[in-house]
Structures are given as C-alpha cells and as structure tokens.
Amino acid sequence: MALFEALYEKRCRIPICYDHVFLRVSHTIRVGRALRAKKLTPKFIGSYQILHHRGPVDYELALSPQLSGLHNIFHVSQLRKYVPDPSHVIKPDAVEIRDDLLVEVPATCLEDTKVKELRGKFIQLVKVV
C-alpha cells in the first residue's frame, strides 16, 4: 500500500513545465454541469493556458467565458498535458453575412410547400432539398 501512495504522491507533485493543458471534466469540480452536456461529455476539454503556478500542486488557468462560473485554480491531477499540433486548428469557412444578418444559400430543389395557420397568422412552410 505504501508503494501505491508513493507513486501517486510522486505523480501529483511533479511540476508542470508546459504552457497549455487539457482540463478533466468531473463532477467534483462541476465542469460537467457548466457544459450542460450529460451523455456525450468528453473526458477532457481545452486547451487552456496556464497563468500562474499557485502552490506545489495548484495552477491558475485562463478559462473560456462559458466556464466563467468556475473557480480558475485547479489541482495538477485535474490537468493533462497538451501538445500543440497544427492539425488541431479548425479554420472556419468564409461566410458573407448581409446587414440584416441573413445568409444566402442556393436552393437545389423545392420539394413541398404548405401554409400553416398559427393563432390567426399564416406561415408559409417550404421544404428544400
């Protein structure tokens, strides 16, 4: 039993010497509740930049705005090393948005149309393939 405790202590006391980490999603730090996804929640989220080394095993992270309700200091056991890889970067598609925030998409085929009455209003429904 003492060997197991020594290995765990050694693993948790090793200082982190990199800039970005993944954050473990667990119920104890309530990250899972902040994400609001129960069934398909990933084990790790991130990558987050390490701001400060607070103690022998505590690190302060720069969290995203959606996790702003969480305390930003985490134990080293909740962190996983992130190795930067250019293939992890997803480039967004170029989309032109007009002033009225509509995006034009060319329709290929109109399959069906019908008019729906809702509380005295008539709404035109169109099924596009």
pLDDT tens per residue, the chain (129 residues)?
Answer: 566 666 656 555 566 677 888 888 765 555 555 555 566 667 888 788 899 888 878 889 998 887 877 888 888 888 888 887 777 766 666 666 667 777 677 767 888 899 999 888 999 998 877
Beta bridge partners of 49: 20, 62
Q: How far apart are CA 2 and CA 14, in angstroms?
A: 18
Contact 118, 59 (CB under 8 A): no
Q: How far apart are CA 28 and CA 48, in angstroms?
A: 19
pTM comes to 0.51
Q: How far apart are CA 20 and CA 71, in angstroms?
A: 18
